[in-house]
């Protein structure tokens, strides 16, 4: 009887440890493989996309402190930001975003997408007609972030960086 009790305790302890490890590492669902940086709606952002975007933007604007959290959030929000911008005729094209990355010889798609998303965010934020809709999007967005990139609570990032316009739009675009 004592032997069964020890085995049961050990099994229960191992199960508890495994559960705690999963909880601490943020594993579960799409985040369990470590390759997913963020999900929002139908959009999944990979850690490779985040790394590519950070690398490209850091080459152009190293002083901005653009980090993985910012990249994951902007990449996850990109489709919704583009929809919102189209509704207000304020869209930013991929060509404009690529032009902003011009010093980078061969920018990644993720870098271009992150820049487009950031420029779109700034355009929406700066236009009085779209400010309320943008605030509503940010307040209601339920972005799931891999804990490696911080946390998102409806309304914005909880840890690390801020969702801000880290790249200035050129005056000739």
**Would the pLDDT of 69 be above 70?**
yes
Residue 17 has a pLDDT of: 31
> Residue 168 pLDDT > 60, yes or no?
no
The answer to whether 84 and 134 are in contact (CB under 8 A) is yes
**Consecutive H or E run containing 87:** helix 68-87
Distance CA 63, CA 50 (A): 18
pLDDT digits (tens, 9 = 90+) for 93-147: 999 999 999 989 899 999 999 999 999 999 999 999 999 999 999 999 999 999 9
pLDDT at 58: 93
Q: By mean pLDDT, which of 72-86, 98-112, 139-153, 156-170 is the weakest?
A: 156-170
Structure confidence at residue 31 (pLDDT)? 56
Specify whether the CB–CB gap between 154 and 140 falls below 8 A.
yes
Q: How far is it, in rounded angstroms, from Cα 99 to Cα 141?
A: 29
The pLDDT, as a whole number, for residue 65 is 86
- Check if the beta carbon of residue 110 is closer than 8 Å to that of residue 118: no
Strands (E), 121-162: 144-145, 152-153, 156-157
Q: What is the pLDDT of residue 159?
A: 54
The overall average pLDDT reported for the chain is: 79
Angle at 140 between CA 114 and CA 44, to 5 degrees: 40
Res 3 pLDDT > 50:
no
Q: Residue 9: pLDDT above 60?
A: no
């Amino acid at each position: 009887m004592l032997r069964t009790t020890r085995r049961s305790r050990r099994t229960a302890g191992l199960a508890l440890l495994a559960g705690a490890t999963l909880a601490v590492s943020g594993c579960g669902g799409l985040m369990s493989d470590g390759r997913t940086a963020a999900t929002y709606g139908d959009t999944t952002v990979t850690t490779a996309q985040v790394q590519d975007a950070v690398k490209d933007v850091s080459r152009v604007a190293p002083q901005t402190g653009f980090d993985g959290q910012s990249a994951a959030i902007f990449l996850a929000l990109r489709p919704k930001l583009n929809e919102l911008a189209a509704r207000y005729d304020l869209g930013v094209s991929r060509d404009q975003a690529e032009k902003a990355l011009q010093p980078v010889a061969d920018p990644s798609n993720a870098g271009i997408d992150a820049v487009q998303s950031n420029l779109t965010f700034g355009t929406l934020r700066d236009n009085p007609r779209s400010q309320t809709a943008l605030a509503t999007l940010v307040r209601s967005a339920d972005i799931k972030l891999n804990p490696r990139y911080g946390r998102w609570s409806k309304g914005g990032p909880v840890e690390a960086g801020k969702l801000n316009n880290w790249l200035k739009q050129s005056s000739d675009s």
